[in-house]
A = this chain, B = another copy of it.
């Protein structure tokens, strides 16, 4: 029933682990999911092994690609740092290979999602592209000459931490003014909460939606109300689109990509956000008028992008 030449893709998120079989055209079969056993490394690794066994039906020739938030070294052998998983400079790949009995490719989750969009999604046919995964923060992938650019130590594409407002909002990374403090689901939630906290009359719909409790506001609330036409929430999205576009213009000044794909939960949910970002990018690009604009578009593959990309990279590695 399943086509041949399948590989297994896994995406370890902050709350869920997704896994599926993926064919060489990026089609997904038999997707399963589990809760992420946060900060419990041994349980996480056992869960991974179970999910892989279930999908592969004990065919250990199937290559496995695993995407996770964090920094993998250039060879994908060691995890230098992982925010959700308490992996700290550990030889995770070899340990997982022993545990699951398959060839394992370990990759940053945003790189995996960007690769999927490059191969099968909104960046098809584009050799030089950037993919932003807008979720709670900003994940980034840089694809140059048709390959993921990983950087000297494997940590390229951490755009979310370019400082765009010196002295600005505090970021969990320890700095102030990082881009993801101005353009992400968390940032949108923070701005919405501030409106609620100020008891702003313009935010009456948002206040109602969260029972006047600022701590309950999420980026998703703001996005949903904006999509339903609420003017206050539309303003918040528009402000954020401005920050998003400014940061994209910065990336363009460094990389000059042909296409910029915006994905992730927030990037996929809000067309208004992406449109405003494009306007600001076009108004901010240095040298506008003497150079072409990059194409800016929403991602196409949805929440499975990460596992699709991880599976594809695993197949690619096996063929090398």
Contact = CB atoms under 8 A, between A and B. Distances in A.
Interface in A166-185: 166, 171, 173-175, 178
A255 B286 contact: no
A227 interface: no
A166 B246 contact: yes
A81 interface: yes
Contacts of A156: 254-256
Contact of A256 (B89, B150, B294): B150
A286 B151 contact: no
A186 B156 CA distance: 31
Chain copies in the assembled complex = 2
Interface residues of chain A: helix, strand, loop or mixed (majority)? loop
Contacts of A164: 163-164, 166
Contact of A286 (B149, B154, B178, B286): B178
Contacts of A253: 158-162
A250 B163 contact: yes
A163 B246 CA distance: 8
A2 to B, nearest CB: 37
A80 interface: yes
Max count, chain B CB within 10 A of own CB: residue among A71, A152, A249:
A152
A250 B162 contact: yes
A154 B294 CA distance: 13
A312 interface: no
Nearest to A292: B153
A166 B283 CA distance: 13
A149 B143 CA distance: 12
A77 to B, nearest CB: 15
What's the interface size class on A, roughly?
35 or more
B284 A71 contact: no
A170 B62 CA distance: 56
A71 B289 CA distance: 12
Interface in A222-266: 246, 249-251, 253-258
A29 to B, nearest CB: 35
Contacts of A109: none
A284 B254 contact: no
A274 interface: no
A158 B258 CA distance: 15
Given A80-B291, A153-B256, A173-B287, 20 more contacts: A88-B290, A89-B290, A128-B151, A144-B149, A149-B255, A151-B257, A155-B291, A159-B254, A161-B253, A161-B286, A162-B250, A163-B164, A163-B249, A163-B284, A164-B164, A165-B166, A171-B286, A174-B286, A174-B288, A250-B250
26 contacts: A80-B290, A81-B291, A128-B152, A142-B254, A142-B255, A144-B144, A152-B294, A153-B291, A153-B292, A155-B256, A155-B287, A156-B254, A156-B256, A158-B256, A158-B286, A159-B254, A161-B286, A162-B162, A163-B246, A166-B246, A171-B286, A173-B286, A174-B288, A175-B284, A254-B254, A254-B255
8 A-B pairs closest in CB distance:
A151-B256, A161-B286, A152-B258, A81-B290, A156-B256, A162-B250, A173-B286, A158-B253
